[in-house]
């Protein structure tokens, strides 16, 4: 009889342990579930905003002397100590020199040859915008973040609005004009 009592005592203790573990596991599961639900609903309401700048190195859709000039000036707009920055960019009397330097002459010859052979429009711009759209669609599937997009172009002479000018040669700082 003692043996049966010990077995019942052990069985009761095991039942209590199992029940205690079950309660603790159930409580943990409820806490985790509540945290997940709050986290998911909170992330839908308070999504972090992230800025995405799509930077490209490219030419211009349509070749013009103005586009070559703008691309040439952009190269020297970043270094305020460069002689072109100091003497040419801010001196309208010298602006014609931009198209007379060897690099501009070389690109003029290249584009005079290239653009008529590709139908007058470089496909680079359209391809780049398709890539940016695909990037936006992929990022917008993220439920945790909200994204703001823009693009900047190095040497994209026919779209100076997207030049990343640190000294605001063409565009004033945001909010000032």
Spatial distance between the Cα atoms of 29 and 95, rounded to a whole number of angstroms? 72
pLDDT at 5 over 70: no
Answer yes or no: are the C-beta atoms of 104 and 72 closer than 8 Å: yes
pLDDT at 10 over 70: no
Q: Looking at the whole model, is its pTM more than 0.85?
A: no
Share of the chain above pLDDT 70, in %: 66
pLDDT at 111: 92
What's residue 43's pLDDT?
46
Instruction: Please count the residues of the chain.
Output: 177
CB-count burial class (<10 Å; 0-12, 13-18, 19+) for 35: exposed
> Of 39-43, 88-92, 109-113, which gets the smallest average pLDDT?
39-43
Q: What is the pLDDT of residues 78-99, one digit of tens each?
A: 788 888 888 888 888 999 999 9
145: which strand partners? 48
DSSP code string of 10-65: HHHHHHHHHHHHHHHHHHHHHHHHHHHHHHHHHHHHSPEEEEEEEEEE---SS--H
């Amino acid at each position: 009889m003692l043996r049966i009592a010990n077995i019942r005592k052990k069985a009761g203790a095991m039942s209590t342990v199992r029940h205690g573990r079950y309660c603790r596991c159930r409580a943990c599961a409820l806490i985790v579930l509540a945290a997940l639900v709050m986290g998911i609903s909170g992330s839908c309401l308070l999504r972090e905003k992230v800025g995405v700048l799509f930077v490209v190195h490219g030419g211009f859709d349509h070749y013009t002397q103005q586009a070559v000039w703008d691309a040439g000036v952009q190269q020297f707009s970043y270094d305020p100590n460069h002689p072109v920055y100091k003497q040419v960019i801010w001196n309208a009397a010298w602006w014609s020199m931009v198209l007379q330097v060897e690099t501009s002459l070389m690109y003029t010859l290249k584009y005079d040859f290239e653009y008529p052979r590709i139908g007058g429009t470089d496909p680079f711009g359209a391809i780049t915008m398709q890539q940016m759209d695909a990037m936006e669609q992929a990022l917008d599937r993220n439920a945790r973040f909200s994204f703001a997009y823009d693009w900047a172009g190095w040497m994209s002479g026919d779209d100076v609005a997207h030049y990343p000018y640190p000294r605001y040669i063409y565009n004033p700082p945001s909010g000032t004009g």
